[in-house]
A and B are shown apart, each in its own frame.
Chain A
Amino acid sequence: MDDPHPGERPRKKPRFWVEKNEEPVVESVHPAVTPLHVNVSPSPSPPPPNNEAPTDEQPKVEDSELHADSITDGFDTGLLQAVVGELAPSVLQILQRRSNNDVQRAINLYLDGSWQSAPPSVTPSTSTSLPFQTRLTNGLKRQDTEMSSISTPDSEASSTPMAPILKAMPSKRYIGSFGAVAWATRSGRGLLQHAEKVGIERSKMKEYPTKKRAVNNKKQDVVVRFTNAKGEEVGRLENGFAAWISVLIDQKLCSFEGSCVYVPDRLKTGETVYLQLQCFFVRSAFDKRKFVKPDSNRAISPFEELESRDEKDLRLRQVAMVKLFEAINLSPSRNNESTEKHKRQGLLQAAESAESKEQKEKTKAITSTLPGSSPPSEENEEGEELEQDQLDSLYKKAQSFDFNTPTLEPASTFSMDLRKYQKQALHWMVGKERDEAAENRELSMHPLWEEYVWPTQDADNNPVPTVDEQTMFYVNPYSGELSLEFPRQEQNCLGGILADEMGLGKTIEMLSLIHTHRNSVQEKDSTVKRLPRLSKSSATVEQAPYTTLVVAPMSLLAQWASEAEKASKDGTLKILLYYGAEKSANLQKLCCEANGANAPNVVITSYGTILSEFNQVAAMDGNRGSHGGLFSLEYFRIILDEAHYIKNRQSKTAKACYELSATHRWVLTGTPIVNRLEDLFSLVRFLKVEPWSNFSFWRTFITVPFESKDFLRALDVVQTVLEPLVLRRTKDMKTPSGEALVPLPPRTIEIDKIQLSQDEREVYDYIYMRAKRVFAQNAEAGTLMKSYTTIFAQILRLRQSCCHPVLTRKKDIVAEEEDAAEASDLANGLADDMDLQSLIERFQSDGEQDANSFGAHVLKQIQDESNSECPICSEEPMLDQAVTGCWHSACKECLLNYINHQRDRNILPLCFNCRNPINARDIFEVVRHDHLLEEDSLQNSIESSSQTPRISLRRIGLAGSAKTQALLGHLKAERREDRATKSVVFSQFTSFLDLIEPALTRDHIPFVRFDGSMSQKQRAIVLQEFNESSQPYVLLLSLRAGGVGLNLTCAQRVFMMDPWWSFAVEAQAIDRVHRMGQTKKVKVVRFVVEGSIEEKMLKIQDRKKFIASSLGMMSDEEKKLQRIEDIKELLS
């Protein structure tokens, strides 16, 4: 209400209702209001519609007074009217009757409106912002209905037969009337009389064409003025009315006439004036926009606004119409049931949200025009992004696939074998294309339209002119169109969305359709007959009844061509690649019907070609035919591959694709919704599915509910849209017999039992004892539930210490310790990570000394020996070569085992070779960098190829914890086996991933990382790199962030660094790799520390206790109890 609108009426206290008793105005209002309605009842003559007879005023007042006086037996009408205002006698009667002569009750009845529940109720106004005005209009209406119901007996006979019948639609036709509130802009006496006819006009009609300014202004000009009979301006309508009335006038839909219902004798500026307005639909409203097909709209504006001007006009128009129908209380006599539910409410809501958004955009626009910031790009998209889980639930709804759907064998010219689900797809697709039912469908109303009956009487029950054979009119509240003709439902979509997940063979399915449903050259007559209404939208567009146009991203063109070749028996399918230099001179001539025998069956082109030809055609003023290219034909079928290329309906590519004509339209995409519901709209728009291809309709029922967090409703609607249109199967789907759609390669899971090192074990034992003590203390004191968090934290510590002791300690302390150790080692000349080459160089540079030259010799020996047999276990080559302080090599594990063996027997460990004393601290791992890809060395080409592979020595124990070392061991081993293998490493502790990272870096194992802290965009980049790179990447993935949804089929190894409470969660993570699209064997390694809490967790997993809790079937309290039970077991 507190709108800073400049044209707003000056704020003034609405004295009129609040201070009833003191204000003389009150007294004068009601006699004036009441007779207006009362005088209708006798209707002595059929007066002109909007001419209230002022002469009737006096008698009627007396009449009402008479009534008021007469009802005195215990029912104080004076009190009643003093409180609620003057009432019509009939109302008084009803009130008295219903309240059983109890005045107080009557007042309540009146005020809450329940007194009139019996007569047809009046739609309550939605506008809560105008309480007193609303009450007034409602009051007027109420009396209206009351009056007319009383007056019908005598008015009937006199009025009805007098209505003239016209042959055709007049220039304007009465639609209804309503009370409106206005205020004076002038003061003076005798400016306006009661019942005087007033004119309603827009203040600045001339400015409408330059509306661009209005759009840019924050507030639109809505001023509507009214004039007296002399044509002098008296005042303006209240904003609540003016807002929509101005639109109706501006958009030349309606005209208004009015009469004054109440005006004070002496008018002061700002004072309230009541008007009765009659609304007429203008003739032009019906023919101007009659069935404008959206696809004839060729406007290409390079700088499309977020909401274009047309869209904004449309939105205003929608709101205005809804408000109008509400005001005149006219409801449709027939409309589409499915859309009925939230229709008007939805429209208003949609408009409101658009408005608020517009304002947001404005502020955004202002900030973005600041210097330095980039201008809004064309790719700007609207709509909120969908969260992953929303997307999941949406797809879940959309992909209820019935495995019993019939199958169809492909035509004999198709040379490939189809799987069962592919034959089902073929059956479905052919069914969609041959939708004969659509042709025979009985005349049903278009789902977007509503039917209304022209009123035969005006508000005063005076007949209005009717038109011969035009008793109805039709309104499309979504497009704001009006029509006098019956809007027939058209079945436009003879195609659909094939949204099978990647890897299920969409291309093959489509090719089988191309083979199976095609026009043969002979039966061309029947073809033409079958497509009559599609002919000649432009005279120069030729039919291409034998051609399917495939539009695909540039990179897939060759693949399409070769697949099409492969799938067809020789000579059964003519394929034409149409892009770049290979464009034939005139596609139109080639593909037209006359050239049927030679026309290519499949034309494959790219989105880029479409766009460039679209621009050419647009430059030729849309003359498709003479261009002779892609747009000069009406194809039998169009297939858009990877159709999310057109997900942005504002993009030029999308608009170009909308312009392609064809009988059958298909889109292929694995992701019909990438991240916004609008993505789907563009597909639907391309498919020309009524009613959803109307953006306003879409916004109303899908975008707006979704943005206002009404997810269920929005998704529900999306489902209704998708269900008949979409066929989607996912790789995870199982047939009823439990088989996967496409059988998966085998998967092995092995558990790698990890031995903690001495130091790690000590840390673990310490934490274990502490946890056990805390648990025991609490169990004794009976405070287990209270100290649940503490205990749980201890358990967490314990689990972390299995991964890496450092996880359990404060980071800064650890860092200090490491620094200190490093410093002392450097002092001793034994850096922790010695580069062997540099070591050798150092020894060689001062090679005079025997000891040093021996050292250099041995170090070279190490390099040479690395492929020889381990002296201890005879493994050849050694597994993880390690050297003693005296430079003798063996497998790392053998060496450590040996040292431990001797130590356990209290024997001083001696070198197995030279019998010098050795100790575990002076064992060095030999780190070979030969598991790196060839490419790496190729990059440093010549110099590295001649060199020996880089080797470095690293003191054992610094590669990290036992688990990280085990992981590195596995990764390196697998790299030796197959250089291209990619691996996924899951851990639930991102801090553990932090520790694994440097270990991988040190060993030159390339990796990428994916966790919950990354933005959607970063995640996409990481996944793309992991998927597409030829490097043997390792993907570090947090269990929580990566457990669901991701497709990591490019990897063949999964490492689970730590067990989770429920194996189901782990299994889900494993399924990221082992899912449809996986072509190789998958090996899963689960690391479990021997003799630790992790082993016990496995036991708990086996009992599957946690499944219930992880599925959310337990309350929090129950979960806690359950956990405590488990913790008891863990610490046993």
Chain B
Amino acid sequence: MALPKRIIKETERLMNEPVPGISAVPHEDNLRYFDVTIDGPSQSPYEGGLFKLELFLPDDYPMTPPKIRFLTKIYHPNIDRLGRICLDVLKSNWSPALQIRTILLSIQALLGAPNPDDPLANDVAQKWKEDQNAAIETARQWTQEHAKP
């Protein structure tokens, strides 16, 4: 199946006008599969970390959202052990007008503003609510351990 024009355009744009702190590179053998890295946002426990993600565009993209998962271990109430992300725009609030770029920006924003009220990793969320400083410290440690560039 030929690659839709939209995907080609998005890819080109990601290459030519990269978003600061974010990179997405398609696999040569599968142009719908992207290796993604996101810099941890400053003034967050993830600062200084480089997080790897994988991104896959399903056949009916952009009717359905891309599938995205963290590969780098991360301590975050909205990201589970398997790297799955809880983000509305990746689910019910997806719109075909959204793009890879916007989604990755949303994820970067999510790192800066964890939302323990809508958790995916329940244990992390619990911790975050009980002792936010300890949780942030753990997150920082995880970043040091797992997300060193």
Contact = CB atoms under 8 A, between A and B. Distances in A.
Interface of A: 871-875, 894, 897-898, 901, 910-913, 915
A836 B9 CA distance: 31
Given A898-B63, A901-B63, A874 B96 contact: no
B96 A898 contact: yes
A912 B65 CA distance: 12
A735 B93 CA distance: 68
B126 to A, nearest CB: 32
Contacts of A873: 4-6, 62
Contacts of B2: none
B95 interface: yes
Contacts of A894: 96
Contacts of B60: 901
A898 B60 CA distance: 10
Contacts of A912: 95-97
B123 interface: no
Interface string B1-29: 00011100110000000000000000000
Given A872-B62, A897-B63, A901-B63, A915 B4 contact: no
B97 A871 contact: yes
8 nearest interchain CB pairs?
A871-B97, A874-B6, A912-B97, A912-B95, A874-B9, A901-B63, A872-B96, A873-B6
A910 B63 CA distance: 12
Contacts of A871: 96-97
Nearest to A907: B92
Nearest to B95: A912
Contact of B95 (A874, A875, A897, A910): A910
Nearest to B9: A874
Nearest to B60: A901
Contacts of A898: 63, 96
Nearest to B8: A874
A170 to B, nearest CB: 103
Contacts of A897: 63
Contacts of B9: 874
Interface string B83-123: 00000000001011100000000000000000000000000
Contacts of B10: 874
A contact patch SS? loop
A1114 B97 CA distance: 60
B9 to A, nearest CB: 4
A915 B95 contact: yes
A871 B95 CA distance: 10
A915 B63 CA distance: 14
A265 to B, nearest CB: 116
B149 to A, nearest CB: 32
Contacts of A875: 5
Contact of B6 (A872, A901, A910, A913): A872
Contacts of A911: 95
10 contacts: A871-B97, A872-B62, A873-B5, A873-B62, A874-B10, A898-B63, A901-B63, A911-B95, A912-B95, A915-B93
Contacts of A872: 6, 62, 96-97
Interface in B3-58: 4-6, 9-10
B134 to A, nearest CB: 38
A873 B5 CA distance: 7
Contacts of A901: 60, 63
Interface of B: 4-6, 9-10, 60, 62-63, 93, 95-97
A841 B8 CA distance: 40
A874 B9 CA distance: 7
Contacts of B62: 872-873
Contacts of B96: 871-872, 894, 898, 912
Contacts of B6: 872-874
A915 B96 CA distance: 11
A892 to B, nearest CB: 14
A874 B6 CA distance: 5
B5 to A, nearest CB: 6
Q: Which of A871, A910, A911 has the most CB of B within 10 A?
A: A871
Given A897-B63, A901-B63, A913 B97 contact: yes
B61 to A, nearest CB: 10
A875 B96 CA distance: 13
Nearest to B64: A901
A872 B5 CA distance: 10
Contacts of A915: 93, 95
A875 B10 CA distance: 11
A852 to B, nearest CB: 25
A910 B88 CA distance: 14
A737 B98 CA distance: 60
Contact of A913 (B4, B5, B95): B95
A233 to B, nearest CB: 107
Nearest to B6: A874
B142 to A, nearest CB: 35
B36 to A, nearest CB: 20
A903 to B, nearest CB: 12
A920 to B, nearest CB: 15
Given A871-B96, A874-B5, A874-B10, 8 more contacts: A871-B97, A872-B62, A873-B5, A875-B5, A894-B96, A898-B96, A901-B60, A913-B95
Q: Which of A872, A874, A911 has the most CB of B within 10 A?
A: A874
Nearest to B62: A872
B135 to A, nearest CB: 32
B97 to A, nearest CB: 4
Nearest to A902: B63
A894 B62 CA distance: 10
A875 B7 CA distance: 11
A399 to B, nearest CB: 49
A890 to B, nearest CB: 8
A59 B132 CA distance: 164
A913 B96 CA distance: 9
B13 to A, nearest CB: 9
B103 to A, nearest CB: 14
Nearest to A870: B6
B96 to A, nearest CB: 5
Nearest to A875: B5
A898 B65 CA distance: 12
B122 to A, nearest CB: 27
A871 B9 CA distance: 12
A901 B58 CA distance: 14
B65 to A, nearest CB: 12
Contacts of B97: 871-872, 912-913
Q: Which of A873, A875, A910, A915 has the most CB of B within 10 A?
A: A873
Contacts of B95: 910-913, 915
A911 B60 CA distance: 18
A873 B62 CA distance: 8
A873 B6 CA distance: 5
A911 B62 CA distance: 14
Nearest to A873: B6
Nearest to A894: B96
Nearest to B5: A874
Contacts of B5: 873-875
A910 B95 CA distance: 8
A77 B97 CA distance: 120
A873 B97 CA distance: 9
Q: Which of B6, B10, B62, B96 has the most CB of A within 10 A?
A: B96
Nearest to B13: A874
B119 to A, nearest CB: 24
A986 B9 CA distance: 38
A227 B60 CA distance: 113
A762 B9 CA distance: 38
B101 to A, nearest CB: 12
A619 to B, nearest CB: 77
A46 to B, nearest CB: 113
A901 B5 CA distance: 19
Contacts of A913: 95, 97
A897 B61 CA distance: 12
A906 to B, nearest CB: 13
A337 to B, nearest CB: 75
